[in-house]
């Protein structure tokens, strides 16, 4: 079992894809290691060496609200067909449509507990350890959700039709570095597809997912700049395009994607890989479900109800271990939905 669940369970498609990076400091729980860190030869102030990253999965995954933990089937339908000539007093033909294999989405519970010992709290000079803990646990849960979704995408799970989501038979996986030509090919593939009945469908690209700031600059130059790569590079091979952000000739791909299409997703594994997604509100590639639509995790504080036996007052620490305990809980799940809405390049 990996950190995201078991195989064939709601999040299980990751198959021990990677270990979840622990964003906490050393666990205190019932041990004394955290107080020892705070004591030291000099008095210590805490620092937090990371920034909050707002979840961006709404830009490339569809969000569903589930009322319980039972499976929900997301049914796909092909285009409505049957328009034909009627003329004067003609008979109107019956229109028809077929269904695609449904995606199965279910949610499960994920979370953890974190205990801060009495020694750690009393040794915290700034007093922020206790105050920041709920926020930090909420952030850890939100980060876990974002990492889990990216892990699912990168693991290339089976699509509802039983074939891997990104597969050569679909034409939605390549090994080409990001450039004008590579992006044009990806968009052309997405907009030139046929449905299961052989009819043309139009799936418009909406989001370009990259990992690093450098790749984001390359992508922004491709879709925003009036100019493309340098003359020297283009002279090397006809139509070769450019994968650097530099001055040069007219750029025919300017404005081909929405202005905010480029998304820098730090949880991607490889700095050179890139993904293209359709608008998840129209054609979702992946779906992310939350219990009753609660996208924010629940963070609770244990109420020990321990009374002072020798007088009035309550002890805020647990009876078993002199500590204050927090619990974070998040009910969510995810599933691959429609491979026609996604395209990837895994660059060697």
The residue with greater pLDDT, 232 or 314, is 314
CATH number at residue 98: 3.90.1690
HSE toward the beta carbon, residue 242, CA cutoff 13 A: 26
Average pLDDT over every residue of 4-29:
38
Does position 40 have pLDDT exceeding 50, yes or no?
no
Domain count of the fold of the chain: 1
Please report the pLDDT score of residue 80 as a whole number. Answer: 82
Q: pTM of the full predicted structure?
A: 0.76
The residue with greater pLDDT, 79 or 249, is 79
Please report the pLDDT score of residue 195 as a whole number. Answer: 84
* pLDDT tens, residue by residue, 231-284: 444 444 444 455 554 445 666 677 788 889 999 999 999 999 999 999 999 899
For 159, the token pair is 């699509």
For 282, the token pair is 């129209």
The answer to whether position 315 is within a domain reads yes
CA 194 – CA 144 distance, rounded (Å): 36
Please report the pLDDT score of residue 222 as a whole number. Answer: 84
The answer to whether position 30 is within a domain reads yes
The answer to whether position 282 is within a domain reads yes
Q: Are 149 and 57 in contact (CB under 8 A)?
A: yes
Does position 11 have pLDDT exceeding 50, yes or no?
no
The answer to whether position 257 is within a domain reads yes
Residue 326 pLDDT class (50, 70, 90 cuts): confident
* pLDDT tens, residue by residue, 153-207: 999 999 999 999 999 999 999 999 998 889 999 999 999 998 888 888 889 999 9
31 burial level (CB within 10 Å; 0-12, 13-18, 19+)? middle
Residue 53 pLDDT class (50, 70, 90 cuts): low
Give strand pairing partners of 205: 278
The answer to whether position 114 is within a domain reads yes
Question: What element of type H or E holds 342?
Answer: strand 342-345
Give residue 329's domain range. 12-79+93-165+173-345
For 221, the token pair is 């130059």
The answer to whether position 324 is within a domain reads yes
Does position 224 have pLDDT exceeding 70, yes or no?
yes
The answer to whether position 6 is within a domain reads no
Question: Which segment of 16-25, 45-54, 102-111, 281-290 scores lowest on mean pLDDT?
Answer: 16-25
Cα dihedral value 172, 177, 179, 182, nearest 10: -20
The answer to whether position 87 is within a domain reads no
CA 95 – CA 80 distance, rounded (Å): 7
Question: What's the chain's average pLDDT?
Answer: 77
Question: Which segment of 215-229, 232-246, 277-291, 315-329 scores lowest on mean pLDDT?
Answer: 232-246
Share of the chain above pLDDT 70, in %: 68
**Minimal CA–CA distance to 279: which of 204, 215, 227, 336?**
204
* pLDDT tens, residue by residue, 86-144: 998 899 999 888 888 889 999 999 988 887 776 766 666 666 767 777 788 888 888 89
Please report the pLDDT score of residue 236 as a whole number. Answer: 42
């Amino acid at each position: 079992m990996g950190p995201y669940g078991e195989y064939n369970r709601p999040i299980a498609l990751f198959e021990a894809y990677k270990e979840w990076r622990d964003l906490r400091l050393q666990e205190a729980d019932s041990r004394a290691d955290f107080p020892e860190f705070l004591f030291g030869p000099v008095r210590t102030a805490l620092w937090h060496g990371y920034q909050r990253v707002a979840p961006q999965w709404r830009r490339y995954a569809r969000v569903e609200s589930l009322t319980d933990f039972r499976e929900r089937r997301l049914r796909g339908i092909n285009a409505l067909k049957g328009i034909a000539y009627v003329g004067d007093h003609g008979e109107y033909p019956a229109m028809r449509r077929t269904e695609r294999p449904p995606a199965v989405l279910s949610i499960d519970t994920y979370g953890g507990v974190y205990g801060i010992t009495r020694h750690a709290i009393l040794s915290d000079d700034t007093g922020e350890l206790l105050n920041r803990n709920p926020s930090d646990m909420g952030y850890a849960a939100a980060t876990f959700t974002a990492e889990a979704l990216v892990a699912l995408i990168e693991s290339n799970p089976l699509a509802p039709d039983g074939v891997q989501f990104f597969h050569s038979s679909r034409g939605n996986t390549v090994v080409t570095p990001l450039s004008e030509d590579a992006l044009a090919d990806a968009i052309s593939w997405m907009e030139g597809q046929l449905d299961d009945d052989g009819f043309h469908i139009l799936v418009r690209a909406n989001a370009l997912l990259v990992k690093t700031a450098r790749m984001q600059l390359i992508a922004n130059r491709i879709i925003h700049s009036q100019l493309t790569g340098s003359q020297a590079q283009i002279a090397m091979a006809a139509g070769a395009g450019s994968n650097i952000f530099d001055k040069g000739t007219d750029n025919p791909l300017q404005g081909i994607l929405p202005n905010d299409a480029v998304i820098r997703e730090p949880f991607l594994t490889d700095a050179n890989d890139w993904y293209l997604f359709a608008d998840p509100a129209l054609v979702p590639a992946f779906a992310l479900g939350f219990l009753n639509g609660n996208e924010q995790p629940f963070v609770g504080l244990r109420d020990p109800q321990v009374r002072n036996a020798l007088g009035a007052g309550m002890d805020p620490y647990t009876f078993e271990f002199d500590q204050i305990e927090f619990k974070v809980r998040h009910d969510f799940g995810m599933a691959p939905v429609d491979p026609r809405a996604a395209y990837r390049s895994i660059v060697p």
